[in-house]
Amino acid sequence: MSTAQAQNYRIRTRINKPVAEVFKAVTSSDSLIKYFVDSSSHDLLPGQKVSWHWDHYGANEVTVKQVIDNELIELTLDSENWDKTVASGYDVTVTIAFEALDDRTTMVSISESGWLHDEPGYKASHENCGGWQDMLLCLKGYLEYGIDLRK
């Protein structure tokens, strides 16, 4: 297996809220701090470097590559900046997709690609997969029930 191949995964969950409301909860720094991070430097806007901070984890940065209202957010993260690799860092693409199932229900999918097929890449991919799943569950709890599952 080549160490340059991209590793991919996709997780998703259904949220019983309109797509515009779900999309805003993911792109707005004011919303992100209510269910996902303890602080966020900016809203998710194209070209923006955004620093996220978790009290229990530390800070990480993402770069917003693309935003299509109510459809898609594409981010990149640097594997070294995220403390996932000890060798030179490389970009990993995070894609958050939104699909309106009807006027009251949204499917949100998150995928990552670009992790190397090596031990640090597999470990990082699995750790992030769990982190994004946690984010989706917290998003669902926040939007559907008004609670912060991190508390």
Residue 2 zone, left/alpha/beta (φ > 0; ψ -120 to 50; rest): beta
The C-alpha atoms of residue 96 and residue 106 are separated, in whole angstroms, by 12
Domain ranges for the chain: 7-145
Its pTM stands at 0.91
The C-alpha atoms of residue 132 and residue 151 are separated, in whole angstroms, by 17
Whether 81 and 60 have beta carbons less than 8 Å apart is answered as: yes
pLDDT digits (tens, 9 = 90+) for 39-89: 999 999 999 999 999 998 888 899 999 999 999 999 999 887 766 666 678
**pLDDT at site 87:** 66
Q: In sequence order, what E strands does the chain have?
A: 7-15, 39-40, 49-54, 58-68, 72-78, 91-102, 105-115
Q: Which CATH superfamily is domain 7-145 in?
A: START domain (3.30.530.20)
The C-alpha atoms of residue 15 and residue 59 are separated, in whole angstroms, by 27
Question: 139 by DSSP, 3-state: which?
Answer: helix
Spatial CA neighbour of 23 closest among 6, 44, 52: 44
